[in-house]
Amino acid sequence: MTDTSSTAAVDLSLYPGGTSLDADGRLLIGGCAVADLAETYGTPAYLVDEGALRRTARSYVDAFASRHRNSLVLFASKSFPSASVIGVLAEEGCGVDAAAAGELGLALAGGADATRIVFHGNAKTDDDVRSALAAGVRYVVVDNLDDVERIGRLARQPVPVLLRVSPSLDAKTHAAMMTGHDASKFGIPSGQVDDVIRRIRREPMLDLRGLHAHVGSQLLDLDQFEAAVRALAAFERFPVYDFGGGLGVRYTSADDAPSIDDYAERLVTAVHRHLGEDVELLVEPGRSMVARNGITSYRVVTVKRGARTHVAVDGGMGDNLEVSLYGQAFQPSVIDRSGPAEVVDLVGRHCESGDELAHDVEVVSPRVGDLVTVPVTGAYCYTMSNNYNAALRPPVVFCRDGESRLAVRRETFDDLLRRERLLPGTDD
């Protein structure tokens, strides 16, 4: 063990913009002490800095509005599918990217305006299509020929649609997050696009307004967005273009990521050069909207020192699948006290060796009961939270100006049991 070094200290640049330490060195999210929130709401918990989230949304909207007259920033709701999060972002001027009926329902429940919702799904059922038509979304994104048939059959008036293109681009990211390559299950491969456009035009209930491309997620090289613009410019011109999401974020102090402004500048410049200044431009950021604005708090349950030091907390892959699914590196901290530093593996409480939150990380030497925070968990963690080992999904707490509000309550055991029919032993 060494004295607390800079790597064991909390790197505030990974935390929401409003994060600070109080006079006693306690970590404050949105002005609320994480320790107080742990008392009030328990752990693990997803803590969202509402003020920082609102500021990110406004920067996104401004970054595009100031560069392009006719733009709309749609929050990719899959990255944090909570009606409250969607509602806050809608208040700040964002529309919503909703995939299938479930996300559409959340967006409407959050107060989003249907005319600012773009509807997605690579396997839309009849019910999905009906829900989009009933809501009156801005565009339905056609992903396959069966979408054309379904919309044609179910619509009673012409539906504005975009066509999702898979533009043959191998995005530089984790294989599971590549979505614009030839082998992708999403969109129409470039070679078939002209045919599908003709097919759509034969269908009177489809009003083809433009093209869509989303080539991948956690993209750190802006050239890839420009490549997507060039790829869509190879087809006939349309009034609307949607370039999806994908902008990557920093997860650890060692990472570097482009700013929202740099991204907007590159994308809009490419759009103006290749598609013109008059098109309607849509983007669908998820991760870069929410990731840094949320953290997860845990309490240390046990520390086991042996070949490695395993620090086990009261959560894990039930609330954060990013590590086990994508090998994502996070930078946790033992908070609210100083002390010698120690290199540890932060593990969860699930029955699986892959249940790790961080590997080989330096933290203040942990003790049972300590609070641990993992920053940059605002994207896709709540999304993929699950009930492995009948774990109860954590609450979502909004923090702003020193006040906290429960946005989603903690799941209870009754919630789990409610779906069970308890077949053996029931009389009826």
Which residues are part of a known binding site for pyridoxal 5'-phosphate? Answer: 246, 284-287, 380
The span from the CA of 110 to the CA of 325, in Å, is 29
Q: Is-contact 94 305, C-beta < 8 A?
A: no
Residues numbered 158-197 forming contacts with ligand LLP, rule: CB under 6 A: 177
- Nearest approach, Cβ of 84 to ligand LLP (angstroms)? 19
- Produce one character per residue of 102-140: b if its CB has 16 or more CB atoms within 10 Å, e if not: ebbebbbebebebebbbbbbbebeeebbebbbebebbbb
- Nearest approach, Cβ of 120 to ligand LLP (angstroms)? 5
Q: Is-contact 30 400, C-beta < 8 A?
A: yes
Q: Which residues are annotated as a binding site?
A: 246, 284-287, 326, 352, 380
With residue 51 as reference, give the H or E element that holds it: helix 50-65
- Nearest approach, Cβ of 247 to ligand LLP (angstroms)? 6
- Nearest approach, Cβ of 377 to ligand LLP (angstroms)? 11
Q: Is-contact 83 118, C-beta < 8 A?
A: no
Number of residues this chain uses to bind ligand LLP (CB under 6 A): 20
| Catalytic residue from among 32, 94, 351, 399 | 351
Q: Which of 53, 63, 76, 86 binds ligand LLP (CB under 6 A)?
A: 76
Give how far Cα 165 sits from Cα of 107, 144, 182, 295, 299, Å: 25, 10, 10, 34, 45
Q: Which of 288, 293, 333, 404 binds ligand LLP (CB under 6 A)?
A: 288
* Strand pairing category for 294-305 and 309-313: antiparallel
Task: Give Dmax over CA atoms of the chain in angstroms.
Answer: 72
Give how far Cα 17 sits from Cα of 29, 39, 209, 249, Å: 9, 23, 38, 14
Nearer to ligand LLP, 166 or 288 (CB): 288
Residues numbered 104-163 forming contacts with ligand LLP, rule: CB under 6 A: 120
Give, rounded to a whole angstrom, the gap between the first and last alpha carbons of the chain.
62
Of the candidate spans 75-83, 125-133, 297-305, 351-359, the one that interacts with ligand LLP by CB under 6 A turns out to be 75-83
**R_g of the chain computed on alpha carbons:** 23
Nearer to ligand LLP, 327 or 340 (CB): 327
Does residue 378 touch ligand LLP according to CB under 6 A?
Answer: no
Nearer to ligand LLP, 150 or 212 (CB): 212
In DSSP notation, 71-109 reads EEEEEEGGGS--HHHHHHHHHTT-EEEEEHHHHHHHHHH
Q: Between the CA atoms of 156, 157, 159 and 160, what dihedral angle is there, to the nearest 10 degrees?
A: -170
Q: Which amino acid is at 125?
A: T
Nearer to ligand LLP, 288 or 296 (CB): 288
Q: Which of 144, 184, 217, 320 binds ligand LLP (CB under 6 A)?
A: 217
Nearer to ligand LLP, 7 or 122 (CB): 122
Q: Is-contact 68 277, C-beta < 8 A?
A: yes
Nearer to ligand LLP, 164 or 400 (CB): 164
- Nearest approach, Cβ of 75 to ligand LLP (angstroms)? 9
Q: Which residues are annotated as a binding site for substrate?
A: 287, 326, 352, 380
Is there a catalytic annotation at residue 351? Answer: yes
The span from the CA of 135 to the CA of 318, in Å, is 33
Q: Which of 68, 209, 214, 250 binds ligand LLP (CB under 6 A)?
A: 214
- Nearest approach, Cβ of 88 to ligand LLP (angstroms)? 17
Could you check whether the bond before residue 16 is cis, i.e. omega within 30 degrees of 0? no
Nearer to ligand LLP, 34 or 376 (CB): 376
Sign of the dihedral defined by the CA atoms of residues 63, 66, 67, 70, in that order = positive
Residues numbered 227-286 forming contacts with ligand LLP, rule: CB under 6 A: 244-247, 284-286
Number of Cβ atoms within 10 Å of the Cβ of 13:
11
**Which residue, among 358, 401, 400, has the nearest Cα to 377 in the 3D structure?**
358
Residues numbered 304-363 forming contacts with ligand LLP, rule: CB under 6 A: 322, 326
- Nearest approach, Cβ of 130 to ligand LLP (angstroms)? 21
Nearer to ligand LLP, 316 or 366 (CB): 316
Q: Chain-centre distance of CA 362, in angstroms?
A: 27
- Nearest approach, Cβ of 174 to ligand LLP (angstroms)? 8
Helix (H, G, I), strand (E, B) or coil at 163: strand
Of the candidate spans 36-44, 72-80, 355-363, 408-416, the one that interacts with ligand LLP by CB under 6 A turns out to be 72-80
The residue written with tokens 């908070």 in the block is: 335
By annotation, the residues acting in catalysis are: 351
Residues that bind ligand LLP (CB under 6 A): 76, 78-79, 97, 120, 177, 214, 217, 244-247, 284-288, 322, 326, 380
